[in-house]
Chain A
């Protein structure tokens, strides 16, 4: 065992350290299409002090550090492109505090979405967080760090907009608090009214610091929840439909999907409209309002509410939705990747046409899926393709299709979400030079040795 290995093993304990191939094999990859690259070491720390020590070792030895949640981003963000140490955050999974009346929770950096959901259901049944549709093992810290979206995104914006405070370990090993918690015992704001420093870390994919604690806002959980699906064969009308729905301010979440299979979905665009209420009357009022908002499209025969079959409802209403995972295995072989640019809702028609064009060109199974962000302020449009991992040709075709998506998205005015390294470079090339200069200043100052998730946001 080399000196670094010995140091790391001493910090976390031998049981939570490895440099063996059976472990580094797994930590070399994510479930997407990016080529693997092995780390030299894997550690699973239990507390922030251990992370501080690990970072100090890495800083001293000038070796890379890659913080990892559940490793589900699909775009290679946790693949250690230059080797080094992967810090698996899973043991730091405690829920530290819930303030029921102020509606926020403070969790450790490895706490999973599923754990928080279960905890709130058991202990605070009137509270919920904005759970994404990634598998329940996805971590809250990583999700907000990549500007993820969840069930409450139509109402409250990106999940990162719902942060109420951060604790971050810097490249120096120092711990830094971000938000109200820096001057107050209470974690109620990530910035305001102070200078908002959260942007130094959010969206950076760990290239400026390691999030070890995060406070997220919680929201009222209504007793009832239901879903309606409005369908149309006119993709060009979808933005208008979304505009009407968001105008009602009665809807919890809006997802849109189009896919050729099963046959019930063929040729149409499906706007899934989720509503909640504490009483039958509240739920029905919201339902009625949502229906009325789209009445002109029904009258013109451009769209209508489909009858949602009873067997379909539980699937749609579960959180997270497992149908996403099921789609991943359509081609048998468990391959699934999507490129999900954040883009204006008015670009929906172009996106919907593009995915059909690419699926045809590359002979791939597909699902186009959009989640509305804010009151139609933007959307994440997921160009999702499914492939068989045992079929290298199909994987190559998927890569090519996704590469074309990236070019299309940038051209259409979109911004890559959880961008691959290649997409990051594309964004950097297109970026305003002064902004790029500012990013360089931040990176140089926060990570002078370039040890934090190198390969990502390489602005220097």
Chain B
């Protein structure tokens, strides 16, 4: 039985109500936060079910591990509350459907997972990855499907995720380094929350990169640029890995600007908001976010998620800030890419 592990008492006794109090999109005090979450847990209606924009952040804000966002998602689905237009949801469900068009590298006990993000087939190369590559997996058959929590559709995750786990298991893999943090979150965070057994070790590519950079320390030349980090929604599901961003930046001699919208207070790229809610919310969030990067003198905007890069890469570039994925920044640091090649 795949079911969310949720404890109503943890909400009832919550001392902070942080899940909703800290929410950047809802205006809720502690008392109301606790009351609304208890109501939601009990299956009652709540304005939260209507107004939540699916930023995932409450999963991080809840320090008691009670999965407020997964709960909201479950209850929305139960009540048939759509977060996005039906066509958008349908499109994403189709995109993730296995097609038998997956790609496998030379599979070893340790593999890199590119999920279903084709960018990584081009981006993942060089010394940073030479101790794993060409052992990789790519395709819908290995796609975590976690994105469907944006669409209040956990049933498809419950249906597909065990099959994905099984697909990886059948390859005889012992350790998977996930190059997209949403995939890492699927196996390290969401699967346990739903009681899905994962028979391999999940490693976030942040940790992997950090260790590889340390191993290649003699090659590192400080990049000496000021960067803003675009934290993706999916990172909220693996917040234990977030510290590696600062660790890596320090290691490669990058000045991570201390701006308003970072860490706990990070703003979404707006890509999902545009699809779900239209122009205004997405553009307001994007404008505030990019203006913040400009105000803090960022020269580069470092992306973790290719989807974020696709959503606002051009927009930051138009403000004179170079969009770059973390992998490329790290490759710049070890001299594999020049300044011109680094951006993408």
- Residues on A lying within 8 angstroms of B by beta carbon are 231-233, 263-264, 266-269, 280, 288, 291-292, 295, 297-299, 301-307, 309-311
Contact = CB atoms under 8 A, between A and B. Distances in A.
B223 interface: no
A332 B277 CA distance: 40
A307 B147 CA distance: 14
B88 A304 contact: yes
A265 to B, nearest CB: 8
Given A298-B277, A306-B275, A307-B275, A263 B97 contact: yes
B324 to A, nearest CB: 15
A291 B278 CA distance: 7
Nearest to B318: A280
Contacts of B311: 307
Interface of B: 82, 84-88, 90-91, 94-95, 97, 99, 118, 271, 274-279, 283, 307, 310-311, 318
A305 B275 contact: yes
B318 A268 contact: no
B275 A304 contact: yes
Given A233-B86, A267-B90, A301-B86, A307 B95 contact: no
Contacts of B276: 304
Contacts of A301: 82, 84-86
B91 A306 contact: yes
Contacts of A311: 118
Contacts of A292: 279
Given A268-B87, A298-B277, A301-B82, A307 B94 contact: no
Contact of A264 (B91, B118, B279): B91
A267 B97 CA distance: 14
B186 to A, nearest CB: 20
Nearest to B90: A267
Contacts of A309: 310
Nearest to B310: A310
A242 to B, nearest CB: 16
Contacts of B278: 291, 295, 298-299, 304-305
Contact of A307 (B85, B86, B97, B310): B310
Given A263-B95, A264-B95, A307 B274 contact: yes
Given A291-B278, A295-B279, A298-B278, A306 B88 contact: yes
A266 B97 CA distance: 11
A248 to B, nearest CB: 13
A124 B91 CA distance: 41
A299 B276 CA distance: 9
Nearest to B313: A310
Contacts of B307: 307
Nearest to B314: A310
Contacts of A266: 90-91, 94
A243 B267 CA distance: 35
Given A295-B278, A301-B85, A305-B274, 15 more contacts: A231-B88, A232-B85, A232-B87, A233-B87, A263-B97, A267-B90, A297-B85, A298-B85, A299-B278, A301-B82, A302-B85, A303-B87, A304-B87, A305-B275, A307-B310
Nearest to A266: B94
A231 B91 contact: yes
Contacts of B275: 304-307
11 contacts: A263-B97, A266-B90, A267-B87, A291-B279, A298-B85, A304-B84, A304-B85, A304-B275, A305-B275, A307-B275, A310-B310
Nearest to A311: B118
A231 B318 CA distance: 28
B279 A233 contact: no
A33 B124 CA distance: 47
By Cβ-Cβ distance, the 9 closest A-B pairs, closest first, are: A304-B85, A291-B279, A231-B87, A263-B94, A304-B88, A298-B278, A233-B87, A268-B87, A301-B85
A292 B274 CA distance: 12
Contacts of A268: 87, 90-91
A267 B94 contact: yes
A225 to B, nearest CB: 14
Contacts of A264: 91, 94-95
A232 B94 CA distance: 14
Nearest to B344: A310
A252 B286 CA distance: 26
Contacts of B99: 263
Nearest to B82: A301
Contacts of B118: 311
A266 to B, nearest CB: 5
A269 to B, nearest CB: 8
Nearest to A289: B279
Nearest to A267: B90
Contact of B271 (A233, A303, A307): A307
Contacts of A267: 87, 90, 94
Pick from B87, B276, B279 the residue with the most CB of A within 10 Å: B87
A241 to B, nearest CB: 11
Contacts of A306: 88, 91, 275
Contact of A288 (B84, B94, B279, B310): B279
A14 to B, nearest CB: 54
B271 A302 contact: no
B310 A302 contact: no
A288 B275 CA distance: 14
A264 B95 CA distance: 5
Pick from A264, A298, A304 the residue with the most CB of B within 10 Å: A304
Contacts of A305: 274-275, 278
Nearest to B311: A307
B115 to A, nearest CB: 15
B85 A303 contact: yes
Contacts of B82: 301
Contact of A302 (B86, B97, B318): B86
Nearest to A297: B85
Contacts of B88: 231, 304, 306
A448 to B, nearest CB: 57
Nearest to B278: A298
A297 B82 CA distance: 13
Pick from B86, B118, B275 the residue with the most CB of A within 10 Å: B86
Contacts of B97: 263
Pick from A267, A269, A311 the residue with the most CB of B within 10 Å: A267
Pick from B88, B307, B311 the residue with the most CB of A within 10 Å: B88
A271 to B, nearest CB: 11
A368 to B, nearest CB: 15
Contacts of B310: 307, 309-310
A315 to B, nearest CB: 15
B213 to A, nearest CB: 28
Nearest to B99: A263
B15 to A, nearest CB: 37
Contacts of B279: 288, 291-292, 295
B269 to A, nearest CB: 10
A228 to B, nearest CB: 10
Contacts of A233: 86-87, 90
